[in-house]
Each structure stands twice: as C-alpha cells, then as structure tokens.
Amino acid sequence: MPPPRPTLEQLARYSEAFNESTTLGHFGMKVRFPDLDTVEVILEPVRPEQRGGLGSDAVNGGVLAAMFDLVIGCAPALVDPTKRSATVQLSMNFMNAVRGDRIVARSHVTRAGEKLVFAAASLFDSEGQECASATGLSRLSSLPWAAGGTPAVN
C-alpha cells in the first residue's frame, strides 16, 4: 500500500530544509512546492558568473542542468517526503537561450513505484517562455536523512 500523499505542510518543511543548504545558497536557488503536484526551483537574481561564455548574457547550460537536477531530484517528495532521493538519470533539451534575471524550473511526477520516480520538467525565462525541458528518474532511498530525521517530519 503506498504511503498517504504528503501535505503542503510536510512539503513546506522539506523545502525549508533544502533552502537552508549551503549548496543551494551558493547557487542562489530556492525550492518550493506551490501545490501537491508541482516542485519549483527558482533562481533569482541570476548573477553575472551564471551567464554563458563568449560574451553571451544567456544563463550558462551548467546552471540550467543544476536546476533540472534539483527539480527532478526533489520530485519524489511529492510521493514520499520522508525518504531521501537522488537523481539517477537526466535528459535535457535546450530549445532557446535563457535570458533574464529570474529563472523558474517546474517538475511533476509522471510515474512512481516503490523505489523509482519518473518526472518531467520545464524551465522558463523571465518572460515566462519555456526555454528547456527535461525528463529524469530518481531513486527513493531507505537510508535515513543525515540529520537523523527528515525535512518532512521534523
């Protein structure tokens, strides 16, 4: 029997724990759950060092890949926020240069099993135009969270 769906309160605690991480602080990204079916990763403001090379003002592809890794990797929280998860496969398509000072990636679960969660994501520029998409696979772990509890339960 699958676990009950998480509550918005559990997802809020999960995102708060992630948003306190040093890594996300360095990237300037924040995780949020606007509803029970969606994960968002927001990068605002985009910093100069996150722009592309060769004089371009577009956001660097490595930054976009990190956003997709995070938004796909957090999608299993929509299934069970009490378990750790990690991205194990990620496929990205870049359709347009991503410009502007605010970038949003959104993902949702497309299929979930006991250990594997499939998700799809889109990335939007400051104008709200979809510029990239991704699909990925994350694995739910049975290991406890490093802090001795989970972001959803503590």
For 110-125, what is the mean pLDDT?
A: 96
Instruction: Please check the confidence at residue 145 and state whether its pLDDT lies above 80.
Output: no
Instruction: Please check the confidence at residue 58 and state whether its pLDDT lies above 70.
Output: yes
Amino acid 154: pLDDT: 42
- Residue 146 located in a structural domain: no
For 44-69, what is the mean pLDDT?
A: 91
For 93-115, what is the mean pLDDT?
A: 96
Average pLDDT, the chain: 91
Tokens 């724990």 belong to: 17
Amino acid 117: pLDDT: 97
- Residue 129 located in a structural domain: yes
For 57-77, what is the mean pLDDT?
A: 96
**Which residue segment(s) compose the domain that 101 sits in?**
8-140
- Residue 147 located in a structural domain: no
HSE toward the beta carbon, residue 7, CA cutoff 13 A: 5
Instruction: Please check the confidence at residue 6 and state whether its pLDDT lies above 50.
Output: yes
Structural domain total, the chain: 1
CATH code at position 53 = 3.10.129.10
